[in-house]
């Protein structure tokens, strides 16, 4: 019985689900936009972007051979990822560049899974990434946010019908794709006001001798390209 249950669970995760109706795809895009544009909702929903941002730093730090010390998520939606290794070089450059590009790139990967009909696989991939991130969280607020987010994904994947899973998955992916540009805009606005002098873009500027503004433009370009590509997949174009 246990073997059968594991096999059924595996088949459920890697199996495909029917494509949702086009009205649901469009409705979830509007819902995602509604969580991004109003400032009041953005102050809450931006926590999800921070999780993806710091998770991007952490994952690339590990992949580039750096030693990950820990991740902190703060109630003002800022975050900090600390890794040890060479203070210069390709690994440090990739780690610094991974933050602002992570949300739209994750959205693009999610759009590919959804376009392939792998809604449940998308949800369980998110759960796995959140579980791995939780191990490296070093403050209570960060742990709370990650646990709550992971719990929502788990409940939807375990209890939700196919239509519910599809709606949640599409809304989450639309959110990552659409939300990718707003933090970049906020970063440039702060830089224009003389703030955020130690931002990812400015760190990259010091590491590469390429102006920070060019890196901001690069972040924005990644967000736009991912939105266009991911949007085409989600809309079935």
Residue 172 lies in a domain: yes
pLDDT band at 1 (very low <50, low <70, confident <90, very high): very low
Residue 7 lies in a domain: no
Residue 105 lies in a domain: yes
Residue 12 lies in a domain: no
Residue 73 lies in a domain: yes
- Residue 195 sits at φ, ψ, to 5 deg, of -100, 180
Residue numbers of the domain that contains 70: 18-235
pTM, rounded to two decimals: 0.93
pLDDT band at 3 (very low <50, low <70, confident <90, very high): low
pLDDT surpasses 60 at 4 = no
Report how many domains make up the chain.
1
Residue 10: CB atoms within 10 A of its CB come to 10
pLDDT surpasses 80 at 214 = yes
Read off the tokens for 5.
């249950």
Cβ contact 207:93 at 8 Å = yes
For the chain, what percentages of helix, strand and coil (3-state, to nearest 5) are there?
75, 5, 20
Residue 42 lies in a domain: yes
Over residues 101-114, mean pLDDT: 98
Residue 123: CB atoms within 10 A of its CB come to 25
């Amino acid at each position: 019985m246990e073997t059968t249950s594991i096999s059924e669970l595996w088949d459920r995760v890697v199996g495909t689900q029917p494509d949702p109706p086009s009205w649901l795809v469009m409705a979830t895009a509007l819902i995602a936009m509604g969580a991004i544009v109003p400032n009041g909702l953005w102050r809450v929903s931006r926590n999800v972007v921070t999780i993806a941002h710091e998770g991007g730093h952490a994952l690339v730090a590990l992949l580039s051979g750096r030693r990950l010390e820990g991740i902190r998520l703060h109630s003002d939606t800022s975050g900090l990822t600390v890794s040890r290794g060479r203070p210069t070089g390709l690994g440090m450059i990739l780690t610094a560049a991974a933050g602002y590009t992570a949300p739209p790139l994750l959205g693009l990967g999610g759009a590919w899974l959804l376009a392939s009909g792998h809604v449940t696989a998308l949800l369980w991939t998110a759960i796995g990434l959140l579980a791995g991130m939780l191990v490296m969280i070093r403050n209570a607020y960060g742990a709370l946010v990650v646990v709550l987010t992971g719990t929502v994904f788990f409940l939807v994947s375990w209890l939700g019908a196919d239509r519910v899973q599809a709606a949640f998955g599409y809304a989450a992916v639309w959110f990552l794709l659409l939300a990718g540009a707003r933090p970049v805009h906020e970063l440039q606005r702060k830089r224009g006001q003389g703030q955020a002098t130690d931002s990812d873009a400015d760190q990259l500027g010091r590491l590469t001798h390429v102006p920070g503004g060019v890196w901001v433009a690069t972040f924005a370009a990644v967000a736009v390209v991912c939105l266009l590509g991911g949007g085409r997949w989600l809309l079935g174009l």
